[in-house]
Structure 1
């Protein structure tokens, strides 16, 4: 099996956005909440438009405390998908290790919403060991032993992709938040545009702990990045979905 290096670097860039994400997770308690089904594939725009206009303020912290939210990594995800070789079946994957440096959400004043998040590149997971432990790591210019997840962000720049919000505005036509972000990978920074949905407001079963859910969606065209090699190696459009749940 052979994969060319640069197209897969692009896929990885894409998956980053994610942004949703945190420094450490808790054990699964089977308290998964079913959020609105909102993704039919092939489009970065959320078709269900489930944003509400309230006054929630969510401040992220790595430790629990009064009035702050911690990231529920166990019930969050960063996913990507694209057609193999441009015309084959969907090739998809996720990352096992990802996190937030900052996340602040202001429902009433979207301009106050900011986030910075990261993905650890050698923690890619497609469910196929021949890819995850071999050709993808080579494509990402990293190794299996770099930055073994313990806690927090990887220290090696080559093993990390970063996403940082620049502006967040409410889009009344689509009833969703428009986000402009800077995405940095392998020392290259490009501006990307995304759609942010405030996916759910509730409580965890059997507790008074608040649940707040978000998802971020966008499509990335690899022709906008200088890292691409042959165009026909992967589909030009790569769809990204990042889901993040926060707990207070």
Structure 2
């Protein structure tokens, strides 16, 4: 009985020792998890996109035009006293340097824009050459809600805008908001670009106010659009998205229905048809 007990004890000691050895070896072989890399992975290509001379399709696939039908300029702001947002868009906008001499009331053309969308250039790997000019026709703000459009933020009749005259696009000074880039730089933390630009708007003031604003520009790289049946490339597209904010109080907006900050998102899509 004593011999059995002694033998049993020895077996248990051997098993326990063996398990400890195996466990210790196993843990030694485990590779610890890799540390998170705090440095962002930034990749930039060499794409260069330039506008054609007229801003409309002309068959030159080396140049690009704004696809306004698939682009948008959106605004949003907090509705004071509620958790939701007031949102809307501008029906008329473009990418042109609207100088004082061009701030006119234009007959609506049957095709294209009243001013060609040619005031821009994009160099993916050289932000010093990137620039763009843009504008919106303020009285074309559209929220999708008639009651809001006629009497709320950015609605017709507010902030020196004028009622729409059928058959005309009003780019007069009191009905226009513009942006004009002054500097574009790489964002060191992403593939985006940091854009400094002049924002010009009259709002409810006696004359337009120019503010220097910093925004973020995102490049959506060039991609091919192919025929669904043959797979042949039909044309190519790329996109630019600009996001920024401004304080509407600086421009004389006193409405208690909106917060101070207005968020703007410009989604510009281009093609080389």
TM normalised by structure 2 equals 0.65
**Deviation at 1:176?**
1.2
State the match for 2:4 in structure 1.
none
Sort the Cα spacing of 1:51 and 1:95 in 2 relative to 1 into closer, same or farther, 3 A.
farther
Q: 2:139 aligns with which of 100, 115, 122?
A: 122
State the match for 2:105 in structure 1.
none
Give 3-state SS (helix, strand or coil) of 1:74's partner. Answer: helix
CA distance in 1 between counterparts of 2:185 and 2:209 reads 25
Matches within 5 A, 1:76-95: 76-85=71-80, 87-95=82-90
Q: Structure 1: which 5+ runs fail to align?
A: 1-48
Q: Deviations over 1:153-209 (max 9, x none)?
A: x43111111111110011122331000010101111111110000023212242431
State the match for 2:241 in structure 1.
215
Q: Deviations over 1:71-112 (max 9, x none)?
A: 111111111111112544211000111101111111121110
Q: 2:45 aligns with which of 31, 41, 54?
A: 54
TM normalised by structure 1 equals 0.71
Higher relative contact order, structure no. (Cα contacts within 8 Å, ≥ 6 residues apart): 1
Sort the Cα spacing of 1:78 and 1:89 in 2 relative to 1 into closer, same or farther, 3 A.
same
Matches within 5 A, 1:182-197: 182-186=198-202, 187-197=208-218
Q: 2:265 aligns with which of 235, 238, 241?
A: 241
Report the aligned-residue RMSD: 2.3
Matched, 1:204 2:225: yes
Matches within 5 A, 1:67-216: 67-85=62-80, 87-101=82-96, 102-135=119-152, 136-146=155-165, 148=167, 154-186=170-202, 187-206=208-227, 207-216=233-242
Higher CA-based Rg: 2
CA distance in 2 between counterparts of 1:50 and 1:71 reads 30
Sort the Cα spacing of 1:168 and 1:60 in 2 relative to 1 into closer, same or farther, 3 A.
same
Aligned residues: 195
CA distance in 2 between counterparts of 1:221 and 1:51 reads 32
CA distance in 1 between counterparts of 2:51 and 2:145 reads 34
Sort the Cα spacing of 1:213 and 1:73 in 2 relative to 1 into closer, same or farther, 3 A.
same
